[in-house]
Amino acid sequence: MQLYKSRGFGEYFQDTFAFLKQNGKHLFKHFFIINGIFLLILMVMTYFFSKFYTDIVFSSFGINSTSVVEDYLNENAVLFISLFFIFLIVALISATISYAFIPIYLKLYIKHNGKHFTTTDIITIYKANVGKILIFLVCGLLIGIPIILFVGLLAFILTITIIGILALPLLIGGVSLYYQGTLMEYLENKKGIWESFGYSWKLMSSKFWAAVACVGLFYLMSYLAQNTITIIVYVLEMINIFTDIEPGITPDPQELGKSMTIMMLIIFLLTFLLSSILNLILQLNQGIVFYSLKEDNENINTKSDIDLIGSGE
């Protein structure tokens, strides 16, 4: 699929799903190879946190549960603080790798004219751009302060009316596309970080409503899909737990705690995997939109086709 291609609102959707159909297996495979170890660590640590919580809650029936939790935390304060910082560091690394994956993947996709590259190629680009990614994060946080204030105020105003609430995904989509476009342009190694922020806004402005509406709708679909599936699984698990309890018999708190722990683990794993996959699709859609806007602005593919015609003559 050609990424540098002029597209309209409908084509943003069509080409995102077409790209997934053609390259989805290759895309997800390399994503989980690169980021899998960090995701696994996060899942294991979250499992132990959830297990601790359910064990404490269900073992404290009939007594002051707040006191039990406080006593346990006081006795294991050093351990919990250590685990919290480890979790935070791993989460930040995983989030950074995940966020930079699509820009790097699409950059290689264009360079190799398709999915003719390996995990090693992706890791090489990561290593070569560690400094740029860190600069982007720092500058993104700085520029994010006024953006958060403005977007927060606008979001508050929108929530006053039902129509305004429906417009919230567009607001989220606009901010996401702005940041994603900035990183993609910055990794092209042709512009500085601040120039990339300005260029990203320039591209968005050229087809603002079509681009932002597409990304916003993708966010809405992702939110609905994830929550619908999670709720269905939660309801089924709750039904399964309580139908196993015999009428007139008080359930054993320990057994109930184990069942709740398993349920929470299943829901968490499902939510975690769904979130990772859906976020990747969201970023892919933003990448499709970005390269479309870039083609409209710079005519990169058109110039390339003209050069090929000229060389053939």
Q: Which tokens hold the place of 223?
A: 């939110």
Predicted local confidence at residue 102, as pLDDT: 93
Torsion-angle region of 247 (φ positive above 0: left; ψ -120 to 50: alpha; else: beta):
beta
Predicted local confidence at residue 20, as pLDDT: 92
**What one-letter code names the amino acid at 111?**
K
Most confidently modeled of 27-31, 37-41, 145-149, 219-223? Answer: 27-31
Average pLDDT of span 41-52: 71
User: Under a CB-based contact definition with an 8 Å cutoff, are residues 217 and 287 in contact?
Assistant: no
What percent of the chain has pLDDT above 70? 77
Angle among Cα 308, 312, 313 to the nearest 5 degrees reads 120
User: Under a CB-based contact definition with an 8 Å cutoff, are residues 267 and 233 in contact?
Assistant: yes
Per-residue pLDDT tens for 175-208? 999 999 999 999 988 889 999 999 999 999 888 8
Confidence of residue 169 (pLDDT cuts 50, 70, 90): confident
User: Under a CB-based contact definition with an 8 Å cutoff, are residues 61 and 253 in contact?
Assistant: yes
User: Got the DSSP string for 121-157?
Assistant: HHHHHHHHTHHHHHHHHHHHHHHHHHHHHHHHHHHHH
Confidence of residue 92 (pLDDT cuts 50, 70, 90): confident
> Above 80 in pLDDT, residue 214?
yes
Predicted local confidence at residue 63, as pLDDT: 47
* Of 247 and 81, more confident: 81
Judged by average pLDDT, the poorest of 71-75, 82-86, 213-217 is: 71-75
Sign of the dihedral defined by the CA atoms of residues 292, 298, 300, 306, in that order: positive
Q: Which tokens hold the place of 261?
A: 């722990």
Average predicted confidence (pLDDT) for the chain: 80
- Comparing CA positions, the residue from 106, 137, 99 lying closest to residue 121 is 106
Per-residue pLDDT tens for 228-284? 877 887 777 667 666 665 555 555 555 655 666 666 677 777 777 888 889 999 999
* Of 117 and 229, more confident: 117
- How far apart (Å, rounded) are the C-alpha atoms in residues 1 and 196? 25
Per-residue pLDDT tens for 298-308? 888 765 544 44
Q: What number of other Cβ atoms are within 10 A of residue 36's Cβ?
A: 12
Average pLDDT of span 95-123: 91
Average pLDDT of span 134-152: 89
Predicted local confidence at residue 311, as pLDDT: 43
